[in-house]
Structure 1
């Protein structure tokens, strides 16, 4: 596992700083796992160089959670274990709708950035949110039961952008459809690729992404079918140093 001192150094070196104390925004990211071949592979994509935040870095699909995400109908809901783990870390604003919003935003961002629809074919629900219109057009409802919550990381204080990111895993089998372009409509990720874990770790990736990949390896080794109920790891800055907690 990566030494926490590497995360401390990354926190000092990688991000612009501000004197304004910003509250971290809810965000979500999805590690898609392909187990169809000899090697287990994960989906990565390179952030466009025009981005101010981590340009050119390889990351998983993900982004900021929107309030409307929690109102979207799903064909399957979060497992009780994943729901409980999400609620544990919500502080003064815990709610089932917020849990759903986090998971659904991971699915939405995977479509927007990678062109992949996680869900199942079903009679389309009426959705008055443009971000979800493509799911309605294809008759796909998102499936939260396919997601497993396994990690969380919060951007350190004093940064110009702060996110409280929840990381989910799902198998590629959960993808019901994909865009023919091989990328998402946002064009935020380029060079989408499916790579074995050891090759993904050789990419130009943020330090916290490296740590999350290693955490995913640990989960999959102990729980290769991603049954609900595994532990969740959390990275956050406390007393000036990164702390890794397990709950």
Structure 2
């Protein structure tokens, strides 16, 4: 009985620890190709070696690093997008944290898909951080003004890894350069593909990814040029159930 009691106690403590894990800031970019008659979205398959969602199709994205907020940009977030990001941050709000979220979406898109979002700088682009070396080599500075913040989702309690992910939309037009091998240097995403929205929802994807794709469709239907000012959809666990809220 004592052994069973100890096991039960250990399991209970593990559950409590998981519930206390603060979600880490993360960002993801839904890149949309509007060059043809039908809008297409970029998706990639997570490598099976990943602990978090192995083999699932996702958008480029990942953890936000504090250093991202200090990276130079050729243009900043729109006032509307920045305000909406700040509003959801509570006591930990700061412009630098807003910038870090947006810049990490751009950085992860390069690392996972080999696509560089930004504009060429009239002089020599200066970014003193190794994660952004590919931008400097091409004299490109990231462009935050092309991003539209439109959704947020927080991983429910209980897992060993939790993320507070902000989702951004941008058009493929914003890509200034790309790696010739059509993949990113991190090799985290395989089978990169541009798919119409309905086809993307039929992939092996997490349910939250399917919901975010549909939210993106709704935003683009109402705002096809992605002008600032769209509503932000938030998915989170409240009172034991998954809740959708609009801000």
Name the TM tier (shorter chain): over 0.9
- In structure 1, C-alpha distance between the alignment counterparts of 2:169 and 2:106, rounded to whole Å: 11
Is 1:133 paired with 2:133?
Answer: yes
Unaligned runs of at least 5 residues, structure 2: 1-13
Residue 16 of structure 2 corresponds to: 19
- In structure 1, C-alpha distance between the alignment counterparts of 2:245 and 2:76, rounded to whole Å: 26
Shift of 1:18: 4.1
Q: How does 1:1-247 map to 2 (within 5 A)?
A: 18-20=15-17, 21-122=20-121, 123-247=123-247
Summarize deviations over 1:219-245 as a string: whole Å, max 9, x none: 000000001001000000001001100
Tell me the secondary structure at the aligned position of residue 54 of structure 1: coil
Quote the RMSD (CA, aligned, Å). Answer: 0.9
Shift of 1:125: 3.1
Moved more, 126-135 or 81-90: 126-135
Shift of 1:208: 0.4
Tell me the secondary structure at the aligned position of residue 107 of structure 2: helix
After TM superposition, the runs of 4+ consecutive aligned structure 1 residues lying more than 6 A away are: none
- In structure 1, C-alpha distance between the alignment counterparts of 2:217 and 2:127, rounded to whole Å: 36
- In structure 2, C-alpha distance between the alignment counterparts of 1:105 and 1:126, rounded to whole Å: 17
Determine which structure has the larger helix proportion and give its number: 2
Moved more, 110-119 or 17-26: 17-26
- In structure 1, C-alpha distance between the alignment counterparts of 2:231 and 2:188, rounded to whole Å: 31
- In structure 2, C-alpha distance between the alignment counterparts of 1:89 and 1:243, rounded to whole Å: 16
- In structure 1, C-alpha distance between the alignment counterparts of 2:237 and 2:24, rounded to whole Å: 16
- In structure 2, C-alpha distance between the alignment counterparts of 1:144 and 1:185, rounded to whole Å: 22
Tell me the secondary structure at the aligned position of residue 167 of structure 1: strand
Summarize deviations over 1:128-183 as a string: whole Å, max 9, x none: 21111110011000000000000000001121100000000000000000000110
Shift of 1:126: 2.6
- In structure 2, C-alpha distance between the alignment counterparts of 1:18 and 1:55, rounded to whole Å: 23
- In structure 1, C-alpha distance between the alignment counterparts of 2:89 and 2:206, rounded to whole Å: 25
- In structure 2, C-alpha distance between the alignment counterparts of 1:246 and 1:159, rounded to whole Å: 26
Which one has a bigger Cα radius of gyration?
Answer: 2
Tell me the secondary structure at the aligned position of residue 36 of structure 1: coil
- In structure 1, C-alpha distance between the alignment counterparts of 2:61 and 2:71, rounded to whole Å: 17
Unaligned runs of at least 5 residues, structure 1: 1-16
- In structure 1, C-alpha distance between the alignment counterparts of 2:213 and 2:127, rounded to whole Å: 34
- In structure 2, C-alpha distance between the alignment counterparts of 1:239 and 1:117, rounded to whole Å: 41
Shift of 1:19: 3.2
TM-score (norm 2): 0.92
- Is the Cα contact below 8 Å between 1:42 and 1:194 reproduced in 2? yes
- In structure 1, C-alpha distance between the alignment counterparts of 2:199 and 2:15, rounded to whole Å: 35
